[in-house]
Each structure stands twice: as C-alpha cells, then as structure tokens.
A and B are shown apart, each in its own frame.
Chain A
Amino acid sequence: MNFGLLFTTALGSLSSNKLRASLTLLGIVIGVSSVIAMMAVGRGAQVSVTSRISELGTDLITVRPGAQALRFAFFGGGGNSDVVSLGDALSLDDEVFSPNARVIAPENSFSGTATFGRENTFVNGVGVTAEYIEARNLKIASGRNISNIDVQNDSLVAVLGSATSEALFGQRDSVGSTIKISNREFTVVGVLKSQQGTIFNPDNSVLIPITTAYYRMNNGKGPRESISVSAINILAKSEKVVDAARLEISTVLRLNHELDADEEDDFLITTQQDTIETLEGTQGTFVILLGSIAGISLLVGGIGVMNIMLVSVTERTREIGIRRAVGAKRRDILLQFVTEAVMMTFGGGVLGVVAGWAIAHFGNGATVSGDVIETVIEAQIAVLALAVSVAVGLFFGIYPAVRAASLNPIEALRHE
C-alpha cells in the first residue's frame, strides 16, 4: 500500500469514530500545549534575567576577595577577608601591566540607617570612588557624583539612590541638605537616576567616598593602600578583551599578593559572562523541570493513544482478517495502525502547538501573585514538540499495530 492510500485508509478509520479520536487527540493537545506554554514561561524568565544582567554591561569584571567570595557573588555582599585592598585597585590602573582595564572602581559596602528630620530609611551603603557610577552604569539625576577630591579628603558627602531620596525628602530636591547616616552628618551632593527593574537595583543605596566609609563608618585604621574592599569593579576596554583583561588582573593581583606558582588565587574574578552563564544554568534547570512536568502529561496522552489503539485492534479484528484475506501483508496492517496512531498524535501536536502558543502569547505580561510573567516562544520548541508527538505516536502505536499485524487471518475472520 502506498503512502497516500495508507493515509486515506487511516483517516477513514479515525473519522468513523470521531468522538473517540477527538478525545484521544485532546490528551495529546493538553500534553503538547502545556509543554509549549511551560517552556515559554521558563525561557521568558531566563531571557529576562539575562537581559537585566546584560544591562550592567558585558564588559564588567568584578574582583572579590577569597574563595569565600563565591558565596557572596550573587548577593552583592562583601566578604570579610581583607585580602583585596584599595592598593590592589590602584595597582590595576597601569597601562603596562593591565592595558585592557579601563575603569577601576573599588567599593566597600556597609549598611545603616539614613535619617532626615523625622524620616528615616534603611540603606545599602557603598563606599566608592568617582569611577563607581561609570563601572556600574549608573546615572546622576541631579547634583554631582562623588569626586576623587572627596575620596582624598574623607569628605562627609553622599549621593543618594532615588528611593532613598524619596523616602527622606519625598518629591523635594535633596541636593544640599544634610542627612545623618549612622549618626554622622553627610551633605547630599547628588541623587541617582532610578533604575527600577534592573537586577542590581541601586535605588535603595547611598554612595559615600570609600575612604569615609572605611575610616569613619567602619573605624578602620592604617594607610589608604591597606583599605580592604569588598569588590573592585573593572571595565574592560571592550567586550572582546574581557578575557585578556581578566588574565592581566589575575597576574597583577598574584604579584601583589606574592603568591607562589603552586598557590591558588586568594581572590575571585567574575565576569558578567560568568554570571549570565551561572544564572542561565540555574534557569535552565528550572526550564527542564517545567518541561518535564509538562512532558508527563504528554506521556499520559501517549498512553491514552496506546489504550485506544489496543481497543481498536480488538474491535476491528474481523476487518483485519478481511484485509489479510484479500491480500494485505502483515506490513500493510502494521503501517495502517501505526499511521492511525501517528495521525492522532501529530494532529494533537499541531493543535497543541497552536494552543500552547496562544496560552503563552496571551499569558505574556500577566501577573500571578505580584510577579509579572514573561513568556518567550521559540520556534525550535514548537518543532521539537511536533517531532516528539510523532515519536509518541510511533512509540505507543507500534505495540498495538504489531498485535494487529500478527493476528492469524483465519482466526481474525472468525472473530465476531
């Protein structure tokens, strides 16, 4: 039997019991559409995380102290190791040893409460140099940035994040006012632009000179070079030289720290690319989890197909006998039943892709308990889902079809 005949024969059999075929198909539709929708949600989450990280600039390199820094890498906290110092940062600003490093911005974090009059708010304090805002891609909304003169003088000046400013001053301009941070008076010299929605949201922060943070807030002692920093943000000259810059930084720091060849780094260098990869990996696991849950419903749909095909083979034993008696080979019967199964699952796959796409499309931007769901529909997933639905038809259709094909024609003809 050629393919066209096989197709029309199978279609004829399926349409003779439309309700049954439709219900079986529905199982596949549900399975495939949930796979599509789940994958779209998962990929949406992945893509939005990636794009938020990329906003920071893919040329950003971060140096943190010690192996323990790994633990803090994604939480923005600082390690309490004093291994990376302001001196390290200064030595990286070197055209000979680290020609690919462009902006070097050490930072030192602290936390505290900012007060103005009766208003007060919790802040993420960051001790910075003038380079910080460029390295972290921040913008000044009004006033000025922390200058390196401020850093030299341990000045009591602060740049407020937009949310901090709003908490203390409402809509009024805070530049020029005096606020208290942990009982020390600071003059507000600038306010940052709001960057709501980015992954490292600076809106709740307060920037002060790194020297002020070390000597005045943390009561540190010693020369400037010894000031320990929680991180050094470095911009590579371009995205292409990130890896070269990373190598240079590592070499300089190892020299500074007098590490022998067999000693491991006592600092940790992370690039944005690393962060994206790690987060994508985590998100990937999430996508796989969602996908497998949906995949189970596809499996259940496949079992439904097998069940119906087995019933169908029993019901149509006599038909099989007739076909065999007039010349059908075993293979003809086998292909007929497999074709029926695959037609159901492929049909279900097509409808499922359409339904899943519709769910993902109209679900994009919906809010579920406060979280906005973003969905990304990928053509590969749709193609894959179709391929899988055909495979499901083959897998679950083959056994009933083999049963049908192996029937003895005489016994099949005698079947009532």
Chain B
Amino acid sequence: MTTASDVLSSIQSAFPGAVLESKVESDRRLWATIDSSKIVDVCKHLTEKLAFDHYSGAAGVDWIARNEMEVVQIMTSHGAHQVVAMLKSKTPREKPTIKSLANLYWNANWYEREIWEMFGINFEGHPGLYPLLLGDDLVGAWPWRKDFKGYPDLTTGKRAVERPTADGYTEYFIPPTPAEIEAGTVPIKLKYPSYREREEAEIKSDAEMIMHMGPQHAMLPGPFLLDILVEGERVHKAFLDLGYIHKGIEKIMENRSWLQGITYTDRMCYVASLTNNECYCGAVEKILGVEVPERAQYIRVILEELSRIQSHLIGTGEFLTLIAGVGYAPWNFMIIDRERIISMIESVTGARLTHTFVRFGGARNDLPEGFADKCRDALKYIESRTKEYIELFNQDPIYHMRMEDVGALSAETAKRVGISGPPLRAAGVAYDMRKEDPILAYPDLDFKVITGTKGDCADRVDVRLREILESVHIIEQCLDRIPSGPIMTETKVPKKIPAGEAYYRVEDPRGEMGMYVISDGGDKPYRVKVRGPFYATLQTLPPLLEGVYIADVVAIAGSMDGCPSEADR
C-alpha cells in the first residue's frame, strides 16, 4: 500500500525542486510545501499517477508575521490508499494569488470562493469568484485576515451608515475618514454581479421562470436559498446561496482559549455535536502528542455511535414527513425512539444536544452506574424498531414511486463531486473515516462499511437505517469490552498548546468531518479550519437537480440529510 513517504518521493522525482519543505508525520499524513507555480501540476500528477482522486478541501492561513499567506490543499484517495497529503503553497501578503484547481477538481470551486472572500487570496483561472458566505457589504474587508479589526471598524471610530440604493434597497456604507480621503486610500468596493443578476442571466426564453425555495425551508433544517430555473415541471438549472446564518465560528475560535473552543464546535451542528467535539479535541491531542486512556476511548466511541443513531433517526424521520406519501407517520415513531437514545447520552454527558463532553486527553464524565444494562435494553429496542422501519419502507408503493431511481448518483460522479458520508456510500463507494483514518478504539472493533448499489434516494435512506444497525453492533461490542481505568490522561494538559499543526478526521453522521488546527504556541488556536461534510454535499445539489421534476427536488435535497448550520459555520 502507498505510504506518505512513497508519495513524497514520487513528487520529488517527478518535479525536482518543487518540494520546498516536507514532513512525513506518519504513514497516513504528508505535509509538503510546494512551489506555488507548480501546485496544479503536482496535483495532476497525484491524481493521475497515485490515485489521489478525492479533493477534500482547502484552507487559507494568514501568516502575518512572515508576511505571507498560505493555501493548504487537502488531497486524499477514495480507498486506493490512506494517505492524506496536505499541500501548502505560499503567496506574498500583498496581492496574494494562487493558481486555481477548480478546473482540475470540480468541487474546488466553493473552497476557493470561501478562501477568496475570507482572505482575499485571488485564484487565477477560477470560473466565478463570487461571495458565498458573506454579505455583500463585507466583501473586500477580508475578515479572516489576522489584521481584520471588526465590522464596522470600531478602532478607527467608523460606523456604518444606512443609505438607500438607486433600486430602492438599503445598503450599509462606511464613510471614509478625512485622513483616508487625503491619503487616497479609500477602500474600493468590489464590483461583481449579484446572486440575483447571475441567475437571471440564465433565463433563456419566456417559458422559463425562477422559483425560490427557501431560505426558510421545509426541506432541510436551517436556512439556505435554493432557486430553481423551471420550464413547466422540469428544472433546467439550480442555484444555491448560503450565508444566512454565517456564524464565523472559525474566527471566533481564534479568539477563545483552547478549552473554550470546544463549546463552539458543539454549535456548528448540534445534532452531531459529539463528533465535532471529537474532531477538535482529536486534532489538539495530536499536536500535544497525548494518548487517550483506553476507557476514555471506549466511552467516546460509545457516545459517538449513539449520537450517530440519533442523528440518522431524526434526519430520516424529518425527511420522510416531507415526501409525505408514506401512509404512516415515521416522524412520530422515530422521534420517540430517538428520545431513548438522547436520554442514554444525557445520562453520561448531562446535556441533551450540546454536550461539550470530549476533553483533551479524555472525557468529562465516566459512565454512570448501570449504564451498560440500560444501554443494551435501549439498543435492543432500537434494533427491532429499525428492522421494522426497513420492512415498512419496502412495503410502501408510494414510497417506492417517490424515491426509487430519483436523484441517482453513479459511483464515478459521486467521487468526482467530492460528496461523502451516506450519499457516497449509497453509490457503492465504501469510504468511511472509521476505516480510512481509524481513531480511538475503532481498529479493534469489528464492523462493516454499509454501502448501497444504486445511489438513489431510497438507497440513501436505506444506508442510514442499516448504519443504525451497525452502530448498535459497535456499541454492543464496546460495552462488552470496555476496560476499567482512568478517563483522563495522567499528563496535565497545559493551557498553552505547543506550536504545531494537525489534521484530524472523523466520520460524522453526515460524512467526512476534518479539522485542520494550527497552534503557534499560544493559549489560543492560531487557525481552525473546519472541513465539514455538508458543505461538500450542498455544493453538489445544483448539478444533481438539473433535469429533474419539481416534485423530486424535495426528495433529492432532503435525502442528503443535511445541516446548513454546519455548512455555514
């Protein structure tokens, strides 16, 4: 199997002198700084020669002290090997520019747009650098740069003033100070077509019209705007706009202590807060180099699997109320079942949704007395219920008509668009972080990666339900094996984390969740980049919706089981 050092030597021999710095952290992690003029060629080489077919995301970092910016490309493979290559390319802070990978990897589009609007790094050759998460008035302020002073910038005493625009809207405007006018440094507002203008430019004939779905949805919990261009019942094109609940969590975490950061990971997606906790704490543990005691590992696995069960239950239940054809109300039953799982988790963590439970080097609480027996009872119940659900869906003709062969994704397309989690596995690609990047006690546990065959909506629901059964199996094993012992490491976790960086991945209920954490040796993170699963899934929605009927839009979008709050973190 290919290891990180193989990958490094392959790049070095193909492009002599292109690797400026490199570090092989383990067999699975390669850190390399690539000459920024060669980054596209190196990525091409990796994809063609070394089976790096999964462009997982990109992160921008502002190194203000070194007066340069960095773009880190995260490249992995869909199961051919398990190496994650973190390829950095540097650019000076004045006029930062990097070559775009969007023509090579379709899904690089959104990641680069995000880096552009947050850091102001220009991507040469990008098909459309438009703001995605930020409001129009913040574009050009580059809020995630380290020298961003806040909006409006209170340090200069400036305040935004409201003023009407020519077309009757209200805009916020920061008047330049007299000193700025004199020096000629008045910030220039960038000009680009707005979301509305861009979608209206696509209307080709009078028969077509634009239909708005959202921002307040019946489809998914959380606001995002999905506009579809329809002719009659057919969708010709779909457009997606995010940013209605942009919380700037990555920036907030840079201004909070390491420990306080855990509470913010909870709130990215409250249905999956335990896996988010795990991802952040895991990354910090990696920088620290601490080993989590075995009991704590098992506790974390048990709770994360319980949280997967409850997330799948609520996701499926909610979705099935939308396609409405089902002659029974799975929502009611699933929410009752979920309640049992939630109270199991609550009995350990003390909270129902926002757990703040995982700690650096361990866990907050031990399992309470009698937990194993109660948990086994609940799992038995969930198992029988889930089997019932699978049977019920199989019998329902309306369910079949609405779900089968709707929104089918082939394995190739699914890989190319960079989707992850149940939608990817439903297409038949066995790609699961618990196997690809095993953490905690997962290597010792026996479980299968659930896959589907057709990749349609019915398959996606089916994969989720069968994953519940698999999680039940995992938890039962954990309960049998859990050793006794401490739940926190002996070594005291310092307030200041030593300088370093780590990329850590966990399998979120919705797919691949990765966090790239950088420490500069201070008491706060220097940068936390969240590579969330639903951001990637949302990006694939517009192409997936092209050519379907209006009625199927809800079925397809809903079957992705998403949380726009996490995409919009």
Instruction: Tell whether A and B belong to one assembly.
Output: no
B-side residues, CB < 8 A to A, are none
